[in-house]
């Protein structure tokens, strides 16, 4: 029910498409604020979010072909440095292969 979100004047705005969604969102807004104070994601370090607001829009959706697709890419935070204390040989090999993929992708 969230159409999109944006940051303006240190306020994070959520645009919703239904009044019921706004009511539910308003009930959870304090939880979101406290979570952001506890841990601000690395991608949002340049933006200080002091308040969170939501509103309902009644504008009709654009046809899908009119949307401009923007892909955001984030730097991988995992580096693959973790110990594997698994006794099951098959499971340990699987986790080691995942660890290798993480390490290979961390350098790129």
Distance of CA 80 to the CA centre of its chain: 21
Domain residue extents for the chain: 2-66, 78-108
Given a cut of 70, whether residue 2 has pLDDT beyond it is yes
Q: Do the Cβ atoms of 12 and 49 come closer than 8 Å? A: yes
pLDDT at 95: 93
pLDDT at 92: 93
Q: Which tokens sit at 21? A: 């969604």
Q: Do the Cβ atoms of 19 and 58 come closer than 8 Å? A: no
Of all residues in the chain, what percent carry a pLDDT higher than 90? Answer: 18
Which is nearest to 32 in space by CA: 18, 24, 47, 74? 24
Which is nearest to 28 in space by CA: 41, 42, 14? 14
Given a cut of 80, whether residue 106 has pLDDT beyond it is no
Give all strands (DSSP E) within the chain, no chain letters.
2-8, 11-16, 51-56
Tens of pLDDT along 8-57? Answer: 888 888 898 888 888 888 888 888 878 877 777 776 677 777 888 888 98
Q: Do the Cβ atoms of 9 and 47 come closer than 8 Å? A: no
């Amino acid at each position: 029910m969230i159409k999109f979100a944006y940051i303006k004047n240190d306020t994070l705005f959520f645009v919703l498409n239904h009044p019921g969604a706004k009511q539910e969102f308003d009930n959870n807004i304090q939880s979101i604020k406290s979570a952001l104070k506890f841990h601000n994601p690395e991608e949002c370090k340049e933006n200080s979010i002091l308040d969170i607001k939501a509103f309902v829009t009644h504008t009709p959706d654009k046809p899908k072909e009119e949307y401009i697709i923007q892909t955001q890419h984030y730097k991988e935070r995992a580096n693959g440095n973790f110990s594997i204390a698994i006794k099951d040989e098959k499971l340990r090999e699987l986790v080691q292969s995942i660890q290798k993929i993480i390490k290979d992708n961390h350098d790129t």
